[in-house]
Amino acid sequence: MGDGPLVQTVGLKKYFKTGRELLHAVDDINLSIAPGKTLGVVGESGCGKSTLGRTILRLIEPTSGQIYFDGEDITGFRKDRIKKIRSNMQIIFQDPYSSLNPRMSVVEIIAEYMIVNKTWPSKAQAWAQAAKLMDLVGLARRCANMYPHELDGGRRQRIGVARALSLNPRFIVCDEPVSALDVSIQAQILNLLMDLQEEMGLTYLFITHDLSVVRHISDEIMVMYLGQCVERSNPDALFERPLHPYTRALLSAIPEPDIGMRDKAIEVLKGEVTSPISPPPGCRFAPRCGQARERCVASDILTVEADPGHHVACAVFEGAGRAGRQGHPQRE
Amino acid sequence: MGHKLLEVKDLMVDYRTDLETIHAVNGVGFGLDQGETLGLVGETGAGKTTTALAIMRLLPERTGRIVQGDILLNGASVIEGTEKALQRLRGETMAMIFQTPMTSLNPIVSIGNQIAESILLHNTQGRSEGEIQQRVDEVLNMVGIPPARKKEFPHQFSGGMRQRVVIAIALACEPDLLIADEPTTALDVTIQAQVLLKIRDLRDRLGTALIMITHDLGIVAQTCDNVAVMYAGELVETGTARDIFTSATHHPYTRGLFDSIPRLNQKVRRLRPIPGLMPDPTDLPIGCFFSPRCPQARPVCREERPPVFSSGSQRIKCHLFGDQEGFAQAGP
């Protein structure tokens, strides 16, 4: 253990084969998350945010690049070693309706990982631990023998959280954990995740398309567009001074629950998201961007640090700031 | 014109199965004028969609039953209408946009023919085939889809475009009343902004009255004139959008809804979710339906049904307002 980031990726890429072409789902992502912190990843459907989360956990094999966990390069780990490291890295899925086995009871679901990993000498002990986890996430013990279909979305998501915590992980990928829930239940789960982080020092990669949620929970935010990181910054700077035209459009498109904002100008984007299959060089947002120039489609855009800690990949800022590819993490 | 475009009076809808009776809508009443937009807000299971289906008379035939109340469209009862009369009303006088653009289109009919179908069914002006095609082009232009694409099938369009096709179908016959049931929930924010702008623009141009069903208070603030907050099949609070978003006094449930959403412009450490869950609609509590979750509940709340109190445009169904200054009892 060091003072370095808990999770780090360097030039991480994941391309999927589609016929003869390649779909660039995750394209050259560099990120680092310090222990106990939350990196929020926002973007619209199809921008590669879930693939990124799964590639970091090596649930999906990366095409190239490195993944570091606690200073160790886990990219080339074989099955047995990755299995060991996985108890430290967990995931909470988006859909609490399809990510739980309908034929297992609540306590069985929560205890399953512990039984598979032989964390406890006996099943009974694993079940006892599962009951403790239920208390931790606020699930009544009377639910222990119920099946997922008997529970509502919020309770199901609590099962997902309890299961992810069962192996005492240090890092959790939260893949849209509240998107399927109603606002009042969403708030309960967000509070729970933040409380757990404080108590147990957890590190989160929080994937969401909801900008108000991401601002609430994150220490740093990364905005993704078609597999690439277009902007990365702390939440306040990102929301108060968004630099990338896509981030600006995204922020202006959120309908705010404030009637005074009714006439705020919305930067409506032209057209639809372009295809991530064999994308041309240059900025992938250029076809929808109001400020697109020749430079934008000529060659790939460099990421620069426009302000301290505020990275952006846009031709407008290329000359300014300190160039460096996404503030490339310095590795020894 | 002496009457409102739409009047819903004390509507009660049950779903009956052999095993149980679900009280989905329990005494809902509101009116809608020509060109007005009403936002119907509430969480999953509040009865928003059931209310809409009752107005359209599209409740599932075997289980859904309107037990009480009346629905008047242009002064004439929709409830007493025969199926044949209803078919003329649907599409021509009132139309509905459903939540999932993926499933509300026929996958094996080109979008042009799907739009033409609704025009053909309500062909009161005796349009010729050529004129119908012309109208199809007009409607497609209106929603921003190039008419050249009308021979294409739903799968060839993106989610946002499909939803615009659905809107085109709904607007093809220029209905007086449009019910939009979570029209943008399945869409990304930037696409949502496009669709909402389109709906707003068309409403202003055609003078269509609109019922916007949503759980997103942001959408309500940005698009609606009046707001009705639904909980457990009841309207707990109604009023103009201005009052709902700026007034200091609210039904405890409305307050809870507002407190549960993370805001973009203010940073709070913890959200304040509403404790508990929506009551089981087969077994509603005695007294106020919200009392089991209400932080301010008094003994009377658990015993007696709350009356409605009003002040200005606001109408609140809650016992707490009996001794509130400025509020007068306005109904049972």
Chain B interface, best mutation among A236, A259, A262, A267, by max B CB count within 10 A: A259
pLDDT at A128 over 70: yes
Q: Say whether residue A266 is in contact with chain B using an 8 A CB cutoff.
A: yes
Say how many CA atoms lie within 13 Å of A329 toward its Cβ: 23
Q: Say whether residue A9 is in contact with chain B using an 8 A CB cutoff.
A: no
Helix or strand or coil: residue A211? helix
CA A326 to CA A300: how far, in whole Å? 13
Which of B 260-289 lie inside 8 A of A, CB atoms?
260-265, 267-268, 270-274, 277
pLDDT of res. A329: 41
CATH number at residue A192: 3.40.50.300
> To 10 degrees, the CA torsion angle through B292, B294, B298, B302?
-30
Closest to A196 (Cα-Cα) out of A177, A222, A221: A177
Fill in the DSSP letter of residue A141: G
Q: Is residue A99 part of a domain?
A: no
* From B218, B246, B271, residue closest to A254, measured CB to CB: B218
Asked if B262 and A212 come within 8 Å (Cβ–Cβ), the reply is yes
> Which position has the token pair 């498109």?
A253
Q: Is residue A163 part of a domain?
A: no
Helices (H) and strands (E) in chain B, counts: 9, 13
pLDDT at A332 over 60: no
Asked if A254 and B189 come within 8 Å (Cβ–Cβ), the reply is yes
Contact list, A209 vs chain B (CB under 8 Å):
188-189
Q: Is residue A124 part of a domain?
A: no
A95 near A82, Cβ under 8 Å?
no
Torsion sign, CA atoms A297, A303, A308, A310: positive
> Which position has the token pair 């598979």?
A116
Q: Is residue A301 part of a domain?
A: yes
Contact list, B265 vs chain A (CB under 8 Å):
256, 258
Asked if A182 and B245 come within 8 Å (Cβ–Cβ), the reply is no
Q: Say whether residue A250 is in contact with chain B using an 8 A CB cutoff.
A: yes
**pLDDT band, very low/low/confident/very high, at A231 (cuts 50, 70, 90):** very high
Closest Cα in chain B, distance from residue A43 (Å): 9
pLDDT at B266 over 80: no
Q: Is residue A134 part of a domain?
A: no
Closest Cα in chain A, distance from residue B100 (Å): 14
Rg for chain B, CA atoms, rounded: 21
* From A44, A257, A259, residue closest to B190, measured CB to CB: A44
pLDDT digits (tens, 9 = 90+) for A78-93: 988 998 888 999 999 9
Contact list, B271 vs chain A (CB under 8 Å):
187, 190-191, 216
Structure tokens at A1: 């253990």
State chain A's mean pLDDT as an integer: 88
Structure tokens at B171: 């607007």
pLDDT digits (tens, 9 = 90+) for B204-234: 888 899 999 998 898 999 899 999 999 999 9
Contact list, A213 vs chain B (CB under 8 Å):
262
CA B195 to CA B27: how far, in whole Å? 32
- Name the phi and psi angles at B196, rounded to 5: -65, -40
- Distances in Å between the alpha carbon of B211 and those of A54, B76, B172, B240, B327? 40, 19, 18, 14, 27
A44 near B189, Cβ under 8 Å?
yes
What number of C-beta contacts closer than 8 Å exist between A and B? 119
Contact list, B241 vs chain A (CB under 8 Å):
259
Structural domain tally of chain A? 1
Structure tokens at A39: 């990196």
Closest to B39 (Cα-Cα) out of B249, B256, B280, B203: B203
pLDDT digits (tens, 9 = 90+) for A168-219: 999 999 999 988 788 888 888 999 999 999 999 999 999 998 888 999 999 9
Fill in the DSSP letter of residue B296: T
pLDDT digits (tens, 9 = 90+) for B38-90: 999 988 889 999 999 999 999 998 899 999 999 999 989 999 888 888 988 88
A147 near A111, Cβ under 8 Å?
no
Q: Which residues contact A227 (CB under 8 A, 6 or more apart)?
A: A24, A25, A26, A27, A47, A48, A276, A284
Fill in the DSSP letter of residue A119: -
CA A128 to CA B329: how far, in whole Å? 54
CA A235 to CA A221: how far, in whole Å? 6
**Which amino acid would we find at residue B75?**
G
Contact list, B273 vs chain A (CB under 8 Å):
184-188, 191
Contact list, A258 vs chain B (CB under 8 Å):
221, 245, 265
CA A278 to CA A280: how far, in whole Å? 6
The mean per-residue pLDDT over the stretch B189-199 comes to 83
CB environment B154-176: b (16+ within 10 A), e (fewer): beebbbbbbbbbbbbbbbbbbbb
> Which position has the token pair 């009023």?
B239
Q: Give the range of the structural domain holding residue A244, as residue numbers without chain letter.
A: 7-88+169-323
> Which position has the token pair 């729970």?
A192
Q: Say whether residue B46 is in contact with chain A using an 8 A CB cutoff.
A: no
A68 near A8, Cβ under 8 Å?
yes
A88 near A69, Cβ under 8 Å?
yes
Contact list, B277 vs chain A (CB under 8 Å):
152, 154, 185
